[in-house]
């Protein structure tokens, strides 16, 4: 089928109601006879990167009151600028030159600890240089460390935007949903999650470019930063099974495992107890306040054994969560094999990661960053994405006021639980919308956007014929897609 006359990419102000309304501020939607694809400088990539820079600048402005470590008067809560980097700078001895894992037990996977160490080394170099060079501004060590950390995280955020644009096919402006994200504004500098998000996004981009080994290396490094990218590898397995493309998946899985081993094995040998801190903490920690389990145990204290005593593991909760997550993974795999048309990679990845966060005993607020690029690629519609992200921002604000304490002009636990409940409902609705589009591919905006589009992020899966399905009468993907695009 030949491409339609007109622009060689999807124009948001022609297709998205929110983009149409927002365009009125700059003269209205893009003209029918306007030329696209010939900008000398302001390409979609550069504009989306500029959006990201602007949002990161606002994020830094929000975080600036907490940068120097002077948190008297609960400034970290009243200014909504709490972050993990500042307190952990002293707790893990980074201020004294200690090396994570070798000198202190860090509660994060190895590559995250490596980023913490990199920021500490660069910050110490700056402090030494500033002490000998007059024009450079002086700063207390923790402030130098936090500024360097934020700069590194900013670079990673730009990589996320670039990766999403590369995965969006003929919809490059979808990357603006990442650059202008409220979640990025709120949580870019809360923790080090952008490292895993960037590696995962780039790994998916490498898969889309049909480089399975490179994809595996990047995803393996992502697993060494946060464990959640392993779910993307699992999603690729289900989709490759349906398409009969297990050889590329095997190359990705093996290279991911090797990359993880290269990063983790040396520290597992040199400092086994400190290296294992992340895994032991994951087993022994109770439900964190933002999870559904903590809410249930607050209102029903004996639920699943209640909150464990100091040093005890919540075995009943751990077992319940494990069973639910296994069942959820099985359900997502069934959906991958039973859907009328093979789901797109971001759709299935979003569903599995979202279900993991909703059912897991830990749902830290900044984990919303894990979902951001997946949600944008799974369902690139401004309205639903902004509504979900608004609830994530609300949870952060209410959480800070809840931690401030009702006796200190903060909020009671009921308001905190209400905000978490609204966030969970919004995420469940977004999950339901994605499931609906998987089950009814004609409603999938990405596939409707351009004739012949299957999965821009699919790599070897893009346009592949199904080999293994759970449908009674499986039809070739190409035939199904042809009927879909003709009806669109």
Written as one string, the DSSP assignment of 12-66 is HHHH-HHHHHHHGGGTSSPPTT---S--SS--HHHHHHHHHHHHHHHHHHHHGGG
Composition of the chain by helix, strand, coil, percent to 5: 70, 0, 30
pTM given for the model? 0.91
Contacts made by residues 41-50, CB under 8 angstroms, sequence distance 24+: 44/9, 44/165, 44/172, 44/173, 44/175, 45/162, 45/165, 45/172, 45/175, 47/176, 48/161, 48/165, 48/172, 48/173, 48/175, 48/176, 48/178, 48/179, 49/158, 49/161, 49/162, 49/179, 50/179
Whole-angstrom distance, CA of residue 73 vs CA of residue 409: 12
Tokens 């809560």 belong to: 77
Torsion angle of C-alpha atoms 224, 226, 230, 232, degrees rounded to 10: -120
Q: Which residues in the chain land under pLDDT 50?
A: 1-5, 27, 33, 474-488
Full DSSP string of 63-87: HGGGTTS--TTTHHHHTT---SHHH
Whole-angstrom distance, CA of residue 412 vs CA of residue 398: 10
**Residues whose CB is less than 8 angstroms from the CB of residue 375 and which lie 6 or more positions away in sequence, other chains included:** 350, 354, 385, 388, 430
Full DSSP string of 365-406: GGGHHHHHHHHHHH---HHHHHHHHHHHHHHHHHHHHHHH-G
What was the pLDDT predicted at 264?
97
Whole-angstrom distance, CA of residue 111 vs CA of residue 226: 8
Task: Give the burial class of 209: count Cβ atoms within 10 A of its Cβ; 0-12 exposed, 13-18 middle, 19 or more buried.
Answer: middle
What was the pLDDT predicted at 420?
97
Task: Return the ∠ at Cα 108 (arms to 157 and 115), rounded to 5°.
Answer: 45
DSSP state of 104: B
Burial 32-43 (b: 16+ CB within 10 A, else e): eeeeeeeeeeee
Task: Give the burial class of 116: count Cβ atoms within 10 A of its Cβ; 0-12 exposed, 13-18 middle, 19 or more buried.
Answer: buried
């Amino acid at each position: 089928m030949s491409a339609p006359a007109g622009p060689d990419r999807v124009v948001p102000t022609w297709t998205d109601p929110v983009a149409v309304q927002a365009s009125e501020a700059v003269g209205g939607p893009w003209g029918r006879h306007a030329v696209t694809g010939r900008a000398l400088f302001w390409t979609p990539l550069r504009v989306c990167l500029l959006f990201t820079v602007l949002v990161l600048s606002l994020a830094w402005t929000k975080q600036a009151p907490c940068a120097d470590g002077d948190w008297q008067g609960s400034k970290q809560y009243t200014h909504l600028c709490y972050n993990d980097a500042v307190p952990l700078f002293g707790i893990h001895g980074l201020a004294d030159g200690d090396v994570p894992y070798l000198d202190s037990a860090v509660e994060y996977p190895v590559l995250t600890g490596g980023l913490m160490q990199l920021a500490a080394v660069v910050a110490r170099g700056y402090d030494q240089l500033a002490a000998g060079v007059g024009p450079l501004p002086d700063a207390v060590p923790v402030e130098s460390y936090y500024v360097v950390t934020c700069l590194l995280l900013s670079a990673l955020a730009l990589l996320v935007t670039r990766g999403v644009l590369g995965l969006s096919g003929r919809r490059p402006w979808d990357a603006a949903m990442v650059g202008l994200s409220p979640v990025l504004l709120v949580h870019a500098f809360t923790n080090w999650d952008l490292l895993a998000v960037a590696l995962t996004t780039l790994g998916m981009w490498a898969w889309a470019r049909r480089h399975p080994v490179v994809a595996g290396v990047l995803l393996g490094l992502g697993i060494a930063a946060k464990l959640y990218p392993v779910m993307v590898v699992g999603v690729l397995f289900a989709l490759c099974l349906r398409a009969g493309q297990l050889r590329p998946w095997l190359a990705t899985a093996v290279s991911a495992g090797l990359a993880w081993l290269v990063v983790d094995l040396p520290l597992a040998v040199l400092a086994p107890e400190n290296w294992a801190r992340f895994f032991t903490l994951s087993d022994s920690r109770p439900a964190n306040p933002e999870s559904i389990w903590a809410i249930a145990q607050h209102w029903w204290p004996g639920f699943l054994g209640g909150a464990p005593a100091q040093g005890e593991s919540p075995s009943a909760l751990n077992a319940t969560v494990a069973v639910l997550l296994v069942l959820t993974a099985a359900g997502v795999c069934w959906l991958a094999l039973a859907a009328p048309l093979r789901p797109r990679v971001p759709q299935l990845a979003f569903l599995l990661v979202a279900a993991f966060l909703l059912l897991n005993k830990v749902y830290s607020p900044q984990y919303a960053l894990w979902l951001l690029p997946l949600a944008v690629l799974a369902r690139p519609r401004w309205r639903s994405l902004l509504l979900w992200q608004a609830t994530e921002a609300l949870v952060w604000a209410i959480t800070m006021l809840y931690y401030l304490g009702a006796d200190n002009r903060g909020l009671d636990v009921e308001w905190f639980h209400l905000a978490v409940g609204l966030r969970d409902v919004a995420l469940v609705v977004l999950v339901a919308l994605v499931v609906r589009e998987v089950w009814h591919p004609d409603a999938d905006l990405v596939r409707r956007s351009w004739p012949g589009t299957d999965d821009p992020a699919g790599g070897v899966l893009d346009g592949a014929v199904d080999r293994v399905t759970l449908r009674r009468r499986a039809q070739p993907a190409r035939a199904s897609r042809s009927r879909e695009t003709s009806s669109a």
